[in-house]
Amino acid sequence: MEKILDIAEAIAHEKGLQPEKVLESLKTAFVQTAKRVINPNFAFVAQVDDATKSIQVIQTITVVADDDERLQDEEIAPAYMAISEAREYDDQVELGDQLQIDHDLEEYGRTAASQLHREIEYHIQRLVEDELYNKYKAKVGTLVSGRVTHVDAQNATYIEVDEIRAVLPMKSRIKGEIFDVGDHIKAVVRRVNIDKNSIQIELSRTSPKFLEALLELEVPEIAEGSVVIEKAARIPGERAKIAIMSTHPQVDAVGATVGVKGVRINAVSAELIGENIDCIEYTTIPELFVSRTMSPAIISHVEIVKNEEGENEKAIITLPADQKSKAIGKSGINIRLASMLTGMQIELVENDSVTNEDGEIEEKKDGVDALEALFN
């Protein structure tokens, strides 16, 4: 086939691919066609002549010793020739040399042309899918947006994202969300898979990464790196906790994230169907970090228990009796999020103290219950 380089450039331009990769796919298509129409056991290579912009299919035969075992294997024997036989054609040939025989696929008629067309379509399609797979694999955990094109019987939502259709399973939707065809929605890429038939992209709106991506979009300090999200934990649609820290001495991490009168954090909360978001200043001191994650509860003391490997495994939190319900939260949501954020099991221990009206912890008075102590 003539001017194969022009064909490669045209396909690359049309599909948005690299010409070098397209050319390699075309060469593979020529080799596979030769195997199908000439002999599947022959060893072929495809070479491009830059001067004529044409492609050549060449059968290669490797010269081996007369007693080489590969000569006895019917499947691979055509790719090898005994040195005694090879020297009948060229008395200068040596072991390991490769003899080359040109093949013109046009001589094999319509069968070869039809087969070559199918092979080119197949390999170009595989190349397109590989490029898409690599593109979206690199986007795992990042924010994308698109238009809803279909909602199936299982309430899986199909979204058109650029040049591909992604799916948002019902399990990855925030409770209570309903989408209709034509809606524009945001989500993060959760998983990318490819099989012999197609590429599948799964999205999520329940992942902590979705919260992080929305904050990066809404808070310039996070986008530019002066505020860093260290950890995030969510119970989608209900409540979330994020641990943030400032990398600049003049930037207040919590203040920048919340925004004036809460405008930034409220915008993110609205996208998450009213999910409450607690912003916590991160610290490498585990006891202090655990104490902060238990907000709004006021903590008396934190003890970190390590496992055999020396890793923080459990936090034993001592707190006034009147703070226990706050520490646990409605349906246990506060303590669950704190455990998710710290990565530790949390154990609560009540002591004999109470908190006064100023939020300060006071020792419980002898013979007086906690409620009376608050007013004395």
Model confidence over 29-68: pLDDT tens digits? 999 999 999 888 888 989 887 777 778 899 888 889 988 8
For residues 13 and 11, give the distance between their C-alpha atoms in angstroms, rounded to a whole number.
5
Contact (CB, 8 A) for 164 and 201: yes
Of all residues in the chain, the percent with pLDDT exceeding 70 is 93
Q: Which pLDDT belongs to residue 54?
A: 76
Instruction: Evaluate if pTM is beyond 0.85.
Output: no
- Rg for the chain, CA atoms, rounded: 33
How does DSSP assign 76-138, residue by residue?
A: TGGGEEEHHHHTTT-TT--TT-EEEEEE-GGGGHHHHHHHHHHHHHHHHHHHHHHHHHHHHHT
Mean pLDDT on 299-317: 90
Contact (CB, 8 A) for 371 and 340: no
- Judged against a pLDDT cut of 70, whether residue 369 lies above it is answered with no
Structural domains in the chain, CATH included, are 4-136 (3.30.1480), 147-202 (2.40.50), 207-282 (3.30.300.20), 285-376 (3.30.300.20)
Name beta bridge partners: 56.
47
**What pLDDT digit, counting tens, does each position of 228-242 carry?**
999 999 999 999 999
Q: Which pLDDT belongs to residue 259?
A: 94
Identify the H or E element spanning 193. Answer: strand 184-194
Strand order in the sheet with 312-320: 301-306, 312-320, 345-351
Measure Cα distances from 193 to 18, 162, 167, 289, 310 in Å: 22, 17, 12, 37, 37
- Judged against a pLDDT cut of 70, whether residue 19 lies above it is answered with yes
Q: Which pLDDT belongs to residue 273?
A: 93
User: Is residue 196 classed exposed, middle or buried when 0-12, 13-18 and 19+ CB atoms within 10 A define those classes?
Assistant: exposed
For residues 223 and 284, give the distance between their C-alpha atoms in angstroms, rounded to a whole number.
22
pLDDT-derived band at 124, boundaries 50, 70, 90: very high
Mean pLDDT on 168-196: 92
Strand order in the sheet with 276-281: 227-235, 239-246, 276-281
- Judged against a pLDDT cut of 90, whether residue 168 lies above it is answered with yes
Mean pLDDT on 10-15: 88
Contact (CB, 8 A) for 315 and 302: yes
Of all residues in the chain, the percent with pLDDT exceeding 90 is 57
- Judged against a pLDDT cut of 50, whether residue 7 lies above it is answered with yes
Q: Which pLDDT belongs to residue 354?
A: 64
pLDDT-derived band at 365, boundaries 50, 70, 90: very low
Q: Are strands 143-151 and 184-194 parallel, antiparallel or unpaired?
A: antiparallel
Q: Which pLDDT belongs to residue 373?
A: 37
Closest CA to 131 of 17, 207, 229, 55: 17
Q: Which pLDDT belongs to residue 360?
A: 65
